[in-house]
Structure 1
């Protein structure tokens, strides 16, 4: 039924797009206008700024955009490590930059915060196929420039959605591949009507069984945009969102299972009344998220321009679990007397709900004249979340009623920030950069896991730097930045967390010529009270963190784009780093010990990647993509059991464009073979310790264990896009 509804909807939007088409164009998606970049100008940087960054355009993403999530499409950027719960890049995916996980990567869409306000994570599964509506993205490594939302402690990622198109177009795209993966989408634009108004949109549907057992996904998303422009004004209204139903695959497997059954998924496992092992068929995550953005850019004069945005995000959904022999006390049930025996445990099915609203405004004003580029901006945002649990079935339900809530928590978070930035050109070679931000955060929660929380944080985040242009080809920069960051909801599970502080030093050199571009930088990130990943997971699969005293990250990053000739180019990158906790304190075998300097969890010393691109003819593109991630520890005590082995992956990508005449403008065929050498590797995992004082009375022994998330062997995706 869903497929039928999607097909009818796709036909409807395609028909509208074709009806509105008034002239043909040799562009695949009409002529995009760079004016849309004004919406991210306040949070993006250029080579004139002393910030380390990488850009990806729609053209860079397009050959591999066959249904995988945005983090997977970013896999080959410097210092980036990605992972997928289901093992094939569709569904729940994650990203780390310089060893920092997604909760520490500030993400904005058109300058508006996207990180979940409470967990600080980014859940791309809630917006499937969003890459198909992304015009460009910029990944700033380190603290970067001031932005909106939670502070950047590893990187900041800002996305610009589709620009308006001057010319009408319609596009239908389908792809399919391994694990019964299927993606369909349709896009359209009316082009500029009366030279002022454009309407555009996208509908997408993605299904996949996943590499991991039962890790199926059923994803739907949409993107609708109305744009108005005249000589001095650009206004865009956006409505986009998605609905995901994902069978849970966030538990991982132990080392023994990894050897015997790599695709085993323990989620939903239980033993029925006959002693037979079963798997609950609806152990799913079911969540909907809708976003509204109203963006307004106004050119006030020859030197002044302004941006104003208001936004609202509505999220609601649950994850469902079968629980075997759970205690009555957890759910407020009264013990029962059944056949003269007291019953105080039961099998049951529960749903844990999240119902939230996020709204606010972001704004900026830009003054640019001669040697000065000055920006003042900020934002005010509010999050309100309801967390509650329901038992929808129980073998023994005691005195409970349908839809009773066995917990019912609320939380509120407010976030206000104000920043000012300036880039001043002293002369033809030297430029100064300054950036000051004040941020105030208030957080209240009353969860059983968090306890009563009523915290307010006030942060001052200064940044300064200098840029030296040796000549037209060589550019040097140095910057110093301070960032402060509040704990997230999960941090309160471990007690009374402290906010974090980071001092980031960046020294870089850029070389640009017609055939060679090279970026080289050294960084030193000095942390106080860093909330590092412990390697452990909570009861919903979320990583847990804990404050450590002092720690640092020291690294070298090099990336290049080299045009060898008219047909070949290579895009290599390498990141070398040392990531250390200093004087790390840990209780082992019942004794508190100082372990000295230990490696920070999930921080490989070596990450390397490369793209070898071959254009045998203008319409044909072949790319060989390779990635290497060095050995890393999944905990902070350098335990052998916590090692995640080094791995490498090589992919092959092809794209061919067939030009047409008349009704059909072009056909673009794409293919992607992931992991062509069928390497067996795990890109993520977890590590835990606990004290055992029962095996040998009078002694305490620290027990260690680990889990792993296997990634798929050789798998493929192929697709076709029809452009009208």
Structure 2
């Protein structure tokens, strides 16, 4: 903890020193420097890339106790899902069928993905959306960004700061079913005459959750100290997230779904009297601290500098009750208690992780005449450790308290640089090109959970070129095309599995060739776009449908696969009282010449692995990749002079397989879900505004599961066991929200 404190003190001193070494502002005309903060990871109007911008009003409009995946669920090709059945707790998203570990996420231009899992766990930054002023989602390879490779999409987020020249306050409270409670408070000084501004926000979320043990207890703090002059901006940001969440990653069997959709096996055991009980502290916990120092300056009329420092500190653990565990698996011998020798025992374990993530980036943006250039670079250093402790063992002869049976550490360093160039030879013609180089040094050592030696070194050097063209035929019509290459290293979990005996093939890096062709039309009352894409993968890592013991999605390389589809988007305002927003994605997602491997064991009593059987598929569907995804939002404003609106938000997700065999019994059914939001704003003139909202989620109480896992085992006698887990989503549930702001 001392390290965390000293890093933030250093950032604060740096910020204060920089502020007071500069002349104070005479005006606020350059507040647009805000946009420079994220310019390296975003594209602007006319770029030959499929993207969606989401502003602060849209982020907060229909948001009550929702994590970011559910705020983005109405965007093209997005599928959001949750373990616990509601939009709080553990939530995730896929875009174009690619999972969260393949989606690059940046916060103020700095990488947010965990370097080892390459995923953002939104639950670890509760209610982050209320601290944001904008987001941009790019589909496909997109533009070069910092951190994890964009292998299907990227999300660029920008936090709030400054808020114009006036002080403000924003208080809200929401309450709904499953005892869901949200309390938030935000305030800011606005930009003062000396150029300083201070923004702060606190958020608290608590809920019992839909499924048993789906409880959440989350807190989030955000603070930003900014200073503006006519030609520069300096900002110091601190974010703190604390999450305590019930374990929900196990899922439930299809048979149990039909009996009790809210069942959760986590923590279940049988006591000495043969009675079923649950361990109450079956929880996942994480403490996150993020500090950022952002510096942006106009060096000249044509040249802009953006330099950032970022520090992420994380500590987390989960606690499990395990039934009938073998001592040998924990490096222990049999235990003799009261004259009886035991080889197995019930126990309570805690698996912990600590990590420090340091990032520095520098960008120079030069624009003159018809030319624009951006040069940038980033260096990051990640130091992480994983270890496990036994808190309690039922049959204990000589096991010490807090026995540590495993520990492994990792150092991951990345250095990257990019050059972007834009040329506009004509007013209606834009040419775009860029190249990025990423170098990764990833080293692990120590023992894994199953006492396997993880010591290994991995080095990767990737070159990612991109290019595109955009042509405007009038003020309303635009056609664009682009091509890009992205390379990506395996996850920690992928490398771990490749080290284990009996795997069918080793794990390697993967490559994507992304082709995009699009058309856009927009006037004062209608906008329409169509985007055709073809994503050709070499050695793509796809989900097998199997999870490891803590919910990580196990993957394997497939030599040849592709995703192709077309995305339609429409926004139409035929009258002042009606607005329609919709999108539809039709896609085909295939693996060519795929071989599926199934574990074969001696029998269901001993589970000794004998071999792996292979089954060949000439062509098969990629797991978790629905052919059809669509959204339609209908908003009514029936009273001309009243700030009242009624919205119906509809989401359709087609059938998808949860392994790569295209087997009908390993498929999630399609679903169509409607949410309703009623909003009314009361303008109380001098004292501010009151917003009242009423939410009905899953209006028709559709029974569906949005995610699943499966594992199939064969035995020498020809029998098989198929284990699977589904994640049922909540039926109709209500929530009300009151917000006061000035």
TM-score bracket, shorter-length normalisation: over 0.9
Question: For the Cα contact (< 8 Å) 1:529–1:548, is it kept in 2?
Answer: yes
Residues 569-598 of structure 1: per-residue CA shift (max 9 Å, x gap): 101100000000001112468653321110
Mapping of residues 136-151 of structure 1, within 5 Å? 136-151=134-149
Residue 34 of structure 1, CA deviation: 4.3
The separation in 2 between residues aligned to 1:68 and 1:430, in whole angstroms, is 41
Residues 1:95 and 1:435: Cα distance change in structure 2 (over 3 Å): same
Say if 2:31 and 2:228, in contact at 8 Å, map to a contact too.
no
Equivalent position to 2:117, from 103, 116, 119: 119
Structure 1 residues 193-204: aligned runs within 5 Å = 193-204=192-203
When normalised by structure 2's length, the TM-score is 0.91
What is the aligned partner in structure 1 of residue 459 from structure 2?
A: 456
Q: Which moved more, 1:628-637 or 1:343-352?
A: 343-352
Matches within 5 A, 1:78-117: 78-117=76-115
1:259 is paired with a residue whose SS is: helix
Among candidates 677, 680, 703, match of residue 656 of structure 1 = 680
Contact 1:583 1:594 (C-alpha < 8 Å) held by counterparts: yes
Shift in Å at residue 35 of structure 1? 3.3
Residues 289-317 of structure 1 deviation map (CA, whole Å, 9 limit, x = unaligned): 01000000000000000100001011002
User: Would the aligned equivalents of 2:161 and 2:226 in 1 still touch at CA under 8 Å?
Assistant: no
In structure 1, distance between residues paired with 2:534 and 2:41 = 22
Number of the residue aligned with 2:431: 432
In structure 2, the residue matched to 1:714 is 732
Structure 1: unaligned runs, 5 residues or longer: 1-30
| Offset, 1:703 | 4.3
CA distance in 1, matches of 2:30, 2:161: 6
CA deviation profile, 1:103-144 (whole Å, cap 9, x unmatched): 001000001001111011111111111111110100000000
* CA spacing shift, 1:705–1:406, aligned 2, 3 Å: closer
Distance 1:594 1:331 in 2: 37
Paired residue secondary structure (2:37): helix
Take 1:402 and 1:341, find their aligned partners in 2: how far apart are those partners? Answer: 21
Matched, 1:690 2:713: yes
Which whole-Å deviations, capped at 9, do the CAs of 1:445-490 have from their partners, x for residues lacking one?
1242672220000000000111111111111111000000000011
Q: Secondary structure at the match of 1:637?
A: coil
Task: Give the conservation status (yes or no) of the 8 Å contact 1:36–1:164.
Answer: no
Report the equivalent of 2:15. none
Alignment check: 8 A CA contact 1:350 1:390 kept: yes
CA distance in 2: counterparts of 1:488 and 1:87, whole angstroms: 27
Report whether the alignment pairs 1:723 with 2:722.
Answer: no
- Give me the whole-angstrom Cα distance separating, in 1, the residues matched to 2:143 and 2:585: 21
Q: Secondary structure at the match of 1:529?
A: strand
Q: Distance in 2 between matches of 1:379 and 1:428?
A: 33
**Distance in 2 of aligned mates of 1:486 and 1:398:** 45
**Contact 1:333 / 1:398 at 8 angstroms: preserved in 2?**
no
Task: Look up the match of 2:489.
Answer: 486
Q: Which residue of 1 aligns with 2:128?
A: 130
Shift of 1:344: 2.3
Aligned partner of 2:626 in structure 1 is 604
* Kept in 2: contact 1:333–1:399 (CA 8 A): no
Q: Give runs of ≥4 in structure 1 deviating > 4 Å.
A: 31-34, 588-591, 700-703
2:496 counterpart SS class: helix
Q: Is the 8 A contact 1:569 1:612 kept in 2?
A: yes
Aligned partner of 2:472 among 455, 469, 474:
469
- The separation in 2 between residues aligned to 1:462 and 1:661, in whole angstroms, is 54
Which residue of 673, 680, 697 maps to 1:674? Answer: 697
Is contact 2:30-2:231 (8 Å) kept? no
RMSD of equivalent CA atoms: 1.6
Aligned to 1:704: 722
Find 1:39's aligned residue among 29, 37, 51: 37
Deviation for aligned residue 1:428: 2.1
Unaligned runs of 5+ in 2: 1-28, 499-505, 601-611
1:262-292: CA deviations, max 9, x gaps?
Answer: 1100101111111111110000011100100
The whole-number CA distance in structure 2 between the counterparts of 1:458 and 1:47 is 32
- Residue 548 (structure 1) aligned with residue 558 (structure 2): yes
Rounded Cα–Cα distance in structure 2 between residues aligned with 1:535 and 1:34: 46
After TM superposition, the structure 1 = structure 2 runs for residues 2-401 of structure 1, keeping only pairs within 5 Å, are: 34-165=32-163, 166-401=165-400
